[in-house]
Amino acid sequence: MSRFYITTPIYYVNAKPHLGHAYTTIVADAVARFHRALGEETYFLTGTDEHGDKIVQAAEKTGEAPGAFTDRVSALFKDLWPRLDITNDDFIRTTEERHKACVRAILQKVYDAGDIYFGEYAGHYCLGCERFLTDKEMVDGKCPDHQTAPELISEKNYFFRMSKYQGWLAEHLHRHPDFIRPERYRNEVLSLLESGALEDLCISRPKSRLSWGIELPFDANFVCYVWFDALLNYVSALGWPDGGKFHKFWPAANHLVAKDILKPHGVFWPCMLQSAGLPVYRHLNVHGYWLVKDTKMSKSLGNVVEPLDLAERYGLDTFRYFLLREMRFGNDASFSEEALVARRNADLANDLGNLASRALSMVQKYFGGVVPEAAPEGEIDEALLELARTSLENYRGLFAEFRFDRALESLWELVRGLNKYIDTSAPWALAKAGDTARLGTVMYLVLELLRKVAVCLTPVMPEAAGKLLAQLGQEPAAANILKELTGFNGLAPGTTVAAGSNLFPRIEAAAEDKAPAPAKARAAEKPAKEKKSVPAPSSAQTGPAESVEYADFAKLDLRVGTVLGVEKHPDADKLLVMQIDCGEGAPRQVVGGLAEFFAPETLVGRQVVVVANLAPRKLRGLESKGMVLAVKKDGGLELLTPSGAVTPGSRVS
């Protein structure tokens, strides 16, 4: 049987958990659920790191002993995970005896191999990193991560001969290019190794300076350096050396970490394993930071986001979906509640929620809520099935490679395709014409492929996917992604389905939640000038605009849409209200300042480029879900259009 082992970093308990911890753990949980849904025996580990200088300092600030402090804060992490629907198999603490025993045994093993020696060292010690920094690592005399000047410390300590394994590690990275993923972080480690900057690692602290740690088995006057201690949790939790879980799962080990701890996991850890005679892990998967207003989230900066608050406000499944869909794994991502609401409304309410609602209500109306039989498929059906095959296979492959945003985008190509298929097939017209056989085929294919989408979403949104499967008359526990890649007859005709679905009601933007002013006050208000409500297009730029990162540009969802209908805004002479088919099933309403340049009838049938993921807003009382792109020229305005006709909903790339 195929196996899979996923670990989060063990979280440092000097403060309570925040969004960064929640993201890593939710990713690990989704990956664990995904591999279980592939039929693999899966083990999922998380826990807390509880030794070191910072723990002692944090405990002193609260007036607690280190043991009492770590008990309390570790419990905050352990208690949070069930509330975020985390399905970890184990939770390890580095203060547990099973871990301490493993650390002492491996220390002794490495010492006996001659890879630990005693020496004196003077260096720049960063309390935040809890390690000595090399001159090459510092920037302007400061730690680049903590922006503080390290303290110059000179003391006798024990050292691990890490430099001995520099050549071996570089060769291993060249032989196994996916050992560290994404590639940019593998290259970062290779650059460090090839620069010759790898030094031996100080792995002890004298008890005269720090007593809160695991005592060295070969010298009772010293405790183990926190990083050498913490990294060993990945094998101590499996019962190394003789535990059955170690032999079963360690060959399938996948670590998940943030980029700030790349060096300990990408350099220290494989060298430690090699010295101790243990096989190295299979993959190290490295993600970026969540930024708040372009600044890294940090406890010290006070800009942390509370995960439970967001989950309770917007729904746990919306929160989980947003985290995996919004961040391109390996890159940094900006967090905002506005972006979360936009994702909820566009992807979950408009696309998936609308699809489920339409499909179930039509089956209820035309077939009494019972899955119909399917007749032989036509060309349009074969095209839909081919889209489904491609979408599902890409989803499986991309998710396995930790490319979650692209995996979900691939799945959403099928969701949008199903909405388009309904529009093109027009079940309402088939029902009116009495073509029951064709109507049954259309509705069966929609329900069957919607079921496959729900199965694939189980790792990401377990509760919502389970509800959708239940609405389709299915058992959520039976979800198996591998089975969905072959065959399109998993939904038995005659199955009773729900009469309707309302999984993801739209969430109105905060600015639109304000209560309207009293009637008298509104009447007394001076009408806003047109120019203020609808800014005129700016003239052509004479030079390049300020440059942006590609990751920022990639956040724009530009789609080609076909204008189905246009009316003048009832309360604004310069605004047109357009109904645009963007391949989403139902048309989306876009309000734009085009009336000065185009008569409504001249726009009907034209294809335009729409910014589809722009947060909805109201213009003179009517909601606009996007923006039509145009170019100002002397005496007029030109719409951005494709050079030839394309399918509505096609992405601009």
Specify the pLDDT at position 126: 82
CA-closest candidate to residue 606, choices 646, 574, 558: 646
Q: What contacts 24+ positions apart, CB below 8 Å, involve 76-83?
A: 76/16, 76/17, 77/11, 77/13, 77/17, 77/21, 77/46, 77/48, 78/48, 80/17, 80/22, 80/307, 80/308, 81/25, 81/46, 83/308, 83/311
> What pLDDT shows up at residue 384?
96
User: Where does residue 317 fall: left (phi above 0), alpha (psi -120 to 50 degrees), or beta otherwise?
Assistant: alpha
Instruction: Tell me if 48 sits within 8 A of 10, measured CB to CB.
Output: yes
User: Bigger pLDDT: 52 or 530?
Assistant: 52
pLDDT-based confidence at residue 38 (cuts at 50, 70, 90): very high
pLDDT digits (tens, 9 = 90+) for 443-469: 999 999 999 999 999 999 999 999 999
- The three-class DSSP label of residue 377 is coil
Instruction: Quote the CA–CA distance of 553 and 71 in Å, as a whole number.
Output: 45
If pLDDT is split at 50, 70 and 90, which confidence band does 530 have?
very low
User: What average pLDDT does the segment 132-139 reach?
Assistant: 79
Closest listed residue to residue 333, CA positions, set 164, 552, 490, 498: 552
Find where tokens 């929160």 sit.
Answer: 319
Rounded average pLDDT over 284-308: 80
- Report the residue count for the chain: 653
Mean local confidence (pLDDT), 86-110: 98
With cut-offs at 50, 70 and 90, classify the pLDDT of residue 265.
very high
What's 588's DSSP letter?
E
Q: Which residues contact 364 (CB under 8 A, 6 or more apart)?
A: 497, 499, 500
Asked if 99 contacts 93 with a C-beta cutoff of 8 angstroms, the reply is yes
Residue 524: pLDDT above 80?
no
Q: Which two tokens stand for residue 256?
A: 């998940």
CA atoms of 286 and 101, how far apart (whole Å):
29
Asked whether the predicted pLDDT for residue 492 surpasses 80, the reply is yes
**What's the pLDDT band for 116 if we cut at 50, 70, 90?**
very high
Q: How confident is the model at residue 357 (pLDDT cuts 50, 70, 90)?
A: very high
Q: Per-residue pLDDT tens for 418-432?
A: 999 999 999 999 999
Given a cut of 70, whether residue 207 has pLDDT beyond it is yes
- Closest by CA position to 389, among listed 464, 457, 452, 305: 452
Token pair of 487 as six digits: 């065959």
pLDDT at 301: 63
The rounded Cα 619 to chain-centroid distance in angstroms is 32
DSSP per-residue string spanning 24-86: HHHHHHHHHHHHHHTT-EEEEEEEEE--SHHHHHHHHHHT--HHHHHHHHHHHHHHHHHHTT-
Strand extents, DSSP E, 210-334 = 215-216, 219-224, 253-258, 283-287, 290-292, 295-296, 333-334
Q: List active site positions.
A: 18, 21, 126, 129, 143, 146, 296, 299
Q: What DSSP designation does 2 have?
A: -
Which tokens go with 262?
Answer: 């790349």
Lookup: tokens for 20: 């960064």
Predicted local confidence at residue 398, as pLDDT = 97
What's the sign of the alpha-carbon dihedral 525, 527, 531, 533? Answer: positive
User: pLDDT exceeding 90 applies to what percent of the chain?
Assistant: 67
Say if CB 558 and CB 652 are below 8 A apart.
yes
Give alpha helix (H) positions in 426-435: 427-433
Q: Which runs of E-coded beta strand occur in 259-302?
A: 283-287, 290-292, 295-296
Residue 646 has pLDDT above 90, yes or no: no
Distance, C-alpha 507 to centroid of its chain = 21
pLDDT reported for residue 587: 86
Region 6-31 average pLDDT:
94
Mean pLDDT of the chain: 88
Q: Do the strands 131-133 and 90-93 form a parallel or antiparallel pair, or are they unpaired?
A: unpaired
3-class secondary structure, 490? coil
Which contiguous run of DSSP H or E holds residue 312?
helix 307-314
Contact 204, 226 (CB under 8 A): no
pLDDT at 544: 45
Answer for the pair 94, 48: CB distance below 8 angstroms, yes or no.
Answer: yes
Distance CA 581, CA 648 (A): 6
**Nearest CA among 225, 214, 227, 223 for reference residue 262:** 227
Please provide the distance, in angstroms rounded to a whole number, between the alpha carbons at the two ends of the chain: 41
Whole-number Å distance between alpha carbons of 20 and 207:
33
240: left (phi over 0), alpha (psi -120 to 50) or beta: beta
How would you classify the pairing of strands 3-7 and 253-258? parallel
What tokens appear for 112 in the block? 């006996």
Phi, psi angles (nearest 5°) of residue 324: -80, -30
Q: What is the pLDDT of residue 1?
A: 78
CA angle in degrees (0–180, nearest 5) for 404-323-591:
100
User: What pLDDT score does 513 carry?
Assistant: 38
Closest residue by Cα to residue 319 from 294, 337, 346: 337
Count of C-beta atoms within a 10 Å radius of residue 112: 10
d(CA 21, CA 77): 9
Residue 510: pLDDT over 60:
no
Report whether 198 contacts 230 (CB < 8 A): no
Give the pLDDT of residue 250: 98
Confidence of residue 566 (pLDDT cuts 50, 70, 90): confident
pLDDT score at 112: 97
Q: Is 377 within 8 Å of 385 (Cβ atoms)?
A: yes
594: Cβ contacts below 8 Å, ≥ 6 apart: 575, 576, 603, 628, 630, 637
User: What residue ranges define each of the domains in the chain, with the CATH number in brackets?
Assistant: 3-287 (3.40.50.620), 337-485 (1.10.730.10), 528-639 (2.40.50.140)
Q: Residue 642: its pLDDT value, please?
A: 84
